[in-house]
Structure 1
Amino acid sequence: GGAGALAYALRYVRTLERGPDYEIPMLRSILGRSRAAIVHSAAVESDLRANGFTGPVARIPHGAWIVDTDRMAYRQRLGLDERTPLIGIFGFLKPYKRIVECMRAFRRLIRLAPDARMILVGEAHPELPLESMISSMGLAAHVRHLGFTPIEDFNGYLGACDIVLNLRYPTVGESSGTLLRALGMGKSVVVSDVGSFREYPDEICLKAPVDTGEEEHLFEYLNLLVSRPELTRALGVRARAWVERECNWQSVARRYASFLEAVVEGREWHAPEPAKAATAAVGEASVPSEYIAGWAPVQDGSRAYVESHLTRLEKTLAITPPANAGDRVLEMGAYLQITPALKTRLGYSEVRGCYYGPSGGTKQRTVTSESGEVFECRIDFFDAEKDCFPYEDGYFSTVLCCELLEHLSADPMHMMIEIHRVLKPGGHLVLTTPNIVSLRAVAGILQGFHPALFPAYIRPREAGADARHNREYTPNEIKSLLENSGYEVTLLETGPFRDEPRPEHGWVEHLLDRYILPKEHRGDGIYAVGRKAGAVRERYPSWLYS
């Protein structure tokens, strides 16, 4: 080989084991002037302590956005169908990210799964001869290097993958934004069992040791995930749920703020507890269906309506937080079906109702149950899309907005902002509405029917609100609506909406499985709870207004 071989080895072989260009000594002067430090992992905290830092240290997760992409659109760009196993490596492709080991394991995989494909998305480091490696390993027909891509395409290709490899050695404890994004997308991810990556929960990713068995582990992991797609999907579901719970920016920002306040005030910091989900209240205030139905008179048809919606009404009360002493509640669009239970069973000291009508109007309503129990409630009239609600700032602890959002035709954010105003800090908004992406909706549109739960026009009448559904929503849209309006989402579920015979939708679930599309949140109704956590973020969200 001589001098040429030595030069090649110095440039390429040695660099395969060279880690990130971060040096702790470079940070010592910064640490020496710092009162405190924030890290993402125990590995980095240990490094700081080892380098003599004695100040307070907060370990706060790396924040992440949940990005949803069009999986099939980017698979079509790659010429792949919905079933082709696709493995991806993303980011700046440096030698220490174990690219060679990944490709060797993948070369073994295609002997068992010849239809498998790999994409490498990102700029290749000058010291990584990527194209020649692909060619020399005989992988040109199975591996594509897509180079640097705009963030929209980067996310799209990430969404198209089934498996993501995010490996590195050596490591200095760095975190990976791409890794968090992949986990948040619900991808099955393999990481190196080193540094900060070792700290991720075992149930959300697979960990490959960096030793003589690394290639063998990578091959076995890839073979397992490709041959067991149901396991791959389950791993991804757990990963997404973990990111949503632990790494959402609201939670991360709250921890940053509370730590900085503790440092400034000179007190010990304790990480805030995650917001308790509204489901914690389920069962504590369970209201029997007979009690709900007992408030609806038979004569005017109200009982028949209530009995056909009992599942929804019971669920709504179950997710509504029970009152503390002195709490007030507002039910919007109050028909006095579940309104009495807010006082008698959930314990609110003051129950108010409101309904569409001329602003400033009010009416005192009294209803009597079958058992003779009497309930009185003041109903205020106004237009929720135009008027200022006739209540003081922070007056209510809880607001119920149930089966109302879908009727709004002009400015739903006006209503959301007014609800936010009249709720006290930390108060809850309970929101229920039909689900436009339910199994029923998907089945309907594939068979040529309208997907909405109630798409019909109402026969014209002289007065009163138009009761038709103007826009039905998806669960993701409800999540965005709550977050845009200054709420932390503490509950987002779907379930039955009306008590009626349900057709068999197994064939729709089969299609979702085939195209690896999510099956969660496919119930007829959306049930959500948001906790007022900050200011309104956006008056006219681009996804809702044009």
Structure 2
Amino acid sequence: MPAPPPSSLDEYRDLFAGHGDTDDEYLARHWRRFLQTFSLFSQAWSPERGPRVLDIGAHWLHQSVLYARAGYQVTAADFESTLKQAGLRSLARANGIQLYGHGDLSDANALAELGEGSIDVVLFCEVLEHLAFNPIAFWQSVYRVLSPGGRIVVTTPNYYFWKTRVRGGLRFLSGGGGGVAVEQVLKRPTYAHHWKEYSARELKRYFTLLSPDFRVHRCFCMSERFTRVGPLGRSIYAEVDLPARQHGIVDDRAWS
């Protein structure tokens, strides 16, 4: 029987009790986003409409567990090394979550073991900004596994978040440049950085260019408390639908 989402951070933490360590600091920072994303998604979707969910970048299963407890058939995807953690595997078993380990997402075969049209909903939350490669092959993989009538749910930091722009302006004026800091480029793994942050307009354009088959159902900014706000909000929430397969992903990559 579907279970309601937790109503507090302590209730959220209880979901992971008895399954080993989790990243409690990350959960404490982001639990409201997880709940708000689930709430927004649930306004127009239910397991009856499409129960098969693929959570890309699932890591600690902080988000996957919400959907599994709500009655969805969840496949949690992340790097194979990440999904080997004993506590994470215990949590997955307890909640009926299937784990899918993949290699680098730039590999066209990253999702090859998932069947064509086998997924109704793709969760792509706080991942887009970490992609440091041309994503065409990756989106071809997503397009292949997404069933006609399916939906992609995206959350990503808003480029125009006012605090980010203030910090960036101060760095610019001090001669510190822009983008990813040199220290981070050299000392952190590739996927640790925010290589590219988007505005809501850019995000709409992104999926429009990817395929004429995609329809951006809604796309707007959320505040630090993850409520809907104007263009200077902290994060962007978007729903991208695939009504039917006709044209595929547009691949016109060139050097100039």
TM-score (norm. length: structure 1): 0.38
> How far does residue 458 in structure 1 lie from its aligned partner after superposition?
6.3
Asked if structure 2 preserves the Cα contact closer than 8 Å seen for 1:401 and 1:431, the reply is yes
RMSD value, Cα: 3.5
Matched residue type, 1:316: T
Do structure 1's residue 292 and structure 2's residue 19 form an aligned pair? Answer: no
Cross-structure match for 1:417: 140
Write out per-residue CA displacement over residues 193-224 of structure 1, whole angstroms, 9 at most, x where no aligned residue.
xxxxxxxxxxxxxxxxxxxxxxxxxxxxxxxx
Cross-structure match for 2:153: 430
Asked if structure 2 preserves the Cα contact closer than 8 Å seen for 1:329 and 1:351, the reply is yes
1:174-189 matches, cutoff 5 A: none
Change (3 A) 1:357 1:539: farther
Asked if structure 1 preserves the Cα contact closer than 8 Å seen for 2:68 and 2:96, the reply is no
> How far does residue 480 in structure 1 lie from its aligned partner after superposition?
1.3
The correspondence for 1:382, drawn from 75, 78, 103, is 103
Cross-structure match for 1:482: 207
Matched residue type, 1:525: S
Asked if structure 2 preserves the Cα contact closer than 8 Å seen for 1:402 and 1:433, the reply is yes
The correspondence for 1:309, drawn from 30, 33, 50, is 30
Cross-structure match for 2:78: 355
**Structure 1: where are the runs of 5+ without partners?**
1-284, 500-518
Asked if structure 1 preserves the Cα contact closer than 8 Å seen for 2:207 and 2:214, the reply is yes
Cross-structure match for 1:496: 223
Aligned pair count reads 231
1:463-542 matches, cutoff 5 A: 466-484=191-209, 485=211, 486-496=213-223, 520-534=230-244, 535-536=247-248, 538-540=250-252
Change (3 A) 1:541 1:480: farther
Change (3 A) 1:374 1:438: same
Max Rg structure? 1
Cross-structure match for 1:341: 66
Write out per-residue CA displacement over residues 413-461 of structure 1, whole angstroms, 9 at most, x where no aligned residue.
3222221221111101001111112222332333345776x75616647
The correspondence for 1:324, drawn from 22, 37, 48, is 48
1:21-420 matches, cutoff 5 A: 288-290=7-9, 291-296=11-16, 300=21, 302-320=23-41, 321-324=45-48, 327-335=51-59, 336-345=61-70, 347-348=71-72, 350-357=73-80, 365-368=88-91, 374-377=94-97, 378-388=99-109, 389=111, 390-420=113-143
Higher relative contact order (CA 8 A, sep 6+): 2
SS at match of 2:89: strand
Asked if structure 1 preserves the Cα contact closer than 8 Å seen for 2:136 and 2:249, the reply is no
Asked if structure 2 preserves the Cα contact closer than 8 Å seen for 1:295 and 1:367, the reply is no
Q: Distance in 2 between matches of 1:366 and 1:469?
A: 28
**Structure 2: where are the runs of 5+ without partners?**
none
Q: Distance in 2 between matches of 1:381 and 1:406?
A: 19
Change (3 A) 1:437 1:489: same
SS at match of 1:457: helix
Asked if structure 2 preserves the Cα contact closer than 8 Å seen for 1:433 and 1:472, the reply is yes
SS at match of 1:406: helix
TM-score (norm. length: structure 2): 0.75
Deviation above 4 Å: which 4+ runs of structure 1?
296-301, 361-365, 449-452
Asked if structure 1 preserves the Cα contact closer than 8 Å seen for 2:143 and 2:249, the reply is no
Asked if structure 2 preserves the Cα contact closer than 8 Å seen for 1:434 and 1:526, the reply is yes
